[in-house]
Chains A and B, each alone.
Chain A
Amino acid sequence: MDLSAINPTLLLASLMVAATPLLLAAIGELVVERAGVLNLGVEGMMITGAICGFAIAVNTGSPILGLVAAALGGAVLSLLFAALTQYALANQVASGLALTLFGLGLSALIGQGYQGIKPPSFPKADIPLLSDIPFLGGVLFRHDFVVYLAIALTAVVWWVLKYSRIGLVLRAVGENHDAAHALGYKVVRIRVAAICFGGACAGLGGAYISLIRVPQWTEGMTAGIGWIALALVVFASWKPWRAMLGAYLFGGITVLQLNLQAAGVAIPVEYLAMSPYLITIIVLVIMSADKSRAPAALGRSFHASQ
């Protein structure tokens, strides 16, 4: 055992990278759930984003275009879910699961012929001056720009939800859609927009894996990260900054356990891997005493005639 082999700077830095796809997907889903919609199809949208981004990046040679395409791909797929749940008033749980199944199949079909290809590499954004600060520079300022994008997105979502009118309306729709409707807000339109935003974020998160984190395309490569993102939103009790904290915690547990293993510490890996989920449950229990609970209309269909 040699714990000194773990370099805290590098540990924290890689933790930020590991958390990014999770954070992106979770922030998107958070907005969706705040609007009162439960979309269980995050995994399907992520993997679709991963292949859309990969294909476009390979074909155009531009990873930036790839990211844009990934966001678009995720959003378009989420429109299917929106059409089902918002216009056809289908059950959200079932529609979300169907979306995941559909997305996994679709991505595998699109992805035929993209195996074993190396995508164009992504520029790293060492922020001048800041990246030279000892410790903090290494932890915070030597990443690709998507890492910062995810954090900026968190800040924006937080601000919009808390201070802007759009945020207020969104939350009103999520808490009580009938009241929001009575006040003259377009409940369905707002929810569709939220779902689209969630899809775009999930797609971006998927592309982060296929273009930057791994980078390659293989079928089913998101390997369940979308489901973890769902857990994360709950863990965060639908608050953006807590989602970021949670992403670092969830991502961090993986990185930390790998670090401990490499340092020769004998740890029960399976039990450590369970811990984020158990912690989430505990958080849920603690939260129940708190005022911050789930959006009241979460998962319920809305139709104006009701």
Chain B
Amino acid sequence: MLRLEKRPQPSRLWTYLTPVLAVVLTMLCGGLLFSFLGKDPVLAIRTIFWEPLFSEFAFYYRPQLLVKGAPLVLIAIGLSLGFKAGIWNIGAEGQYIIGALCGAGVALAFYPMEAAFIFPLMVLAGGLGGWAWAMIPAFLKVRFGTNEILVSLMLVYVAEQLLASMSLGLLKNPQGFGFPGSRNLQQYPSAHNAELIAGTGMHWGVVAALIAVIFAYVLLNRHMQGFYIRLTGDAPRAARFAGVSPTRLVLFCLGVSGALAGLAGLFEVAGPSGVVSIDFNAGYGFTAIIVAFLGRLHPVGILMAGGLMALTYVGGDIAQSKLGLPKAAIQLFQGMLLFFLLAVDLTTNYRIRLRRKEAS
């Protein structure tokens, strides 16, 4: 019989080893899947993991990893603060949409005026929009005790409908021949979140993601609020005795995660995407939840997990076009990776022991 025994504290060795183990396991099972589909498994896995980083065209793919990974990291960092404290915001997708709508709304309200203050104002509006959207579950939780998981999830659907309404109505490009979707902010210099150095993929969203990682790291390790967050997550009762106000913590965690998700949406709509359209949200808000867990809710871990997710997206698309792998196989592969990462996580907190049959 196998038996689990809780470790007194998480194993350092396994903390570092498990992600590697999970990736190896995924490669093995994924390889089986790919060969089952009639593709060369080694080539397929090489294409997904190696090609974007080191192939002949890596000069293009590496920046793309930043573009794809930045919103994931930015959102996941915000979410991880709450998750650590046991505050579950799973509505980041909605906050991302609202942030984008608010930011783009500001830009389009000023169009075609060119001024230096427009972009900062958009950033402010994006962050505030996401914050406000997250404040709804936060306020309802502290005032009425409603479950924030459910309220924030409900608000995703509301936000999606708002997005459809806006791209078909208020924000529709008046010169777009009646097609849905807004003006392209990439063609509006004052509002464009352009690459800071051409060819690097570095835009303000990437910068913001990096700042967020540092901010979260400092907050969690060097700041009282971070200590409260960790304490509340580990021992809620002790936290209360220590004078932590649960109300303020809920407002803080949801507020920060909402604002960061809103910012991610704003940077995306003003930069890489450019347009508010019906299908603007590409699931970043939900994927970021996975990223947060893959990164073990640790800022640096999240940074790496965001990179890994981005890698499977970029590499997956390359594998589709080069090897003719169906999208479904890539999805399945990503699903496997997550399963394995979640499954082997066990070994950091528990020891697996063989045990002789007991009489019980």
Determine the residue in chain A with the shortest Cβ distance to B90: A93
Closest to B331 in A: A105
Give CA–CA (A274, B349) in the complex, Å: 42
Q: Name the CB-closest residue of A to B344.
A: A88
Task: Name the distance in Å between B83's Cβ and chain A's nearest Cβ.
Answer: 8
Cβ of B308 < 8 Å from any Cβ of A? no
How many pairs of A and B residues are in contact by the CB < 8 Å rule? 145
Q: Which chain A residues border B333 with CB–CB below 8 Å?
A: 105
CB-defined contacts of B335 to chain A, threshold 8 Å: 98-99, 101-103, 105-106
- A273-B161, A305-B6 known; A105 and B343 CB under 8 Å? no
Q: How far is the CB of A34 from chain B (nearest CB, A)?
A: 15
Q: Give B128-151 interface residues, CB cut-off 8 Å to A.
A: 136, 140, 144-147, 149-151
Size category of the B interface is 35 or more
A230 touching B153, Cβ below 8 Å: yes
Query: If A88-B343, A93-B88, A94-B293 touch, does A102 touch B147 (CB 8 Å cutoff)?
Result: no
Shortest distance between the CB of A55 and any CB in chain B (Å): 15
Knowing A98-B290, A112-B326 are in contact, say whether A234-B342 is a contact too (CB < 8 A). Answer: no
Cβ of A255 within 8 Å of any chain B Cβ, yes or no, is no
Q: How far is the CA of A58 from the CA of B88 in the complex (A)?
A: 42
CA distance A306 to B6 in the complex (A): 8
Is B214 part of the contact surface with A, judged by Cβ < 8 Å? no
Other-chain contact of B343, A38, A84, A268, A299 (Cβ < 8 Å): A84
Q: Are A93 and B144 in contact (CB under 8 A)?
A: no
Among A93, A102, A299, the residue within 8 A (CB) of B336 is: A102
A273-294 contact mask (Cβ, 8 Å, vs B): 1 or 0 = 1100110110011011100011
Known contacts A234-B147, A280-B154, A299-B149; A108 and B339 CB within 8 A of each other: no
Query: Which residues from chain B sit less than 8 Å from chain A, CB to CB?
Result: 4-6, 37, 88, 90, 136, 140, 144-147, 149-151, 153-155, 157-158, 161-162, 164-165, 286, 289-290, 292-293, 326-336, 338-339, 342-346, 349-350
5 further A-B pairs in the complex, CB-CB below 8 A; given A89-B349, A95-B339, A234-B147:
A94-B342, A108-B328, A112-B328, A231-B157, A278-B154
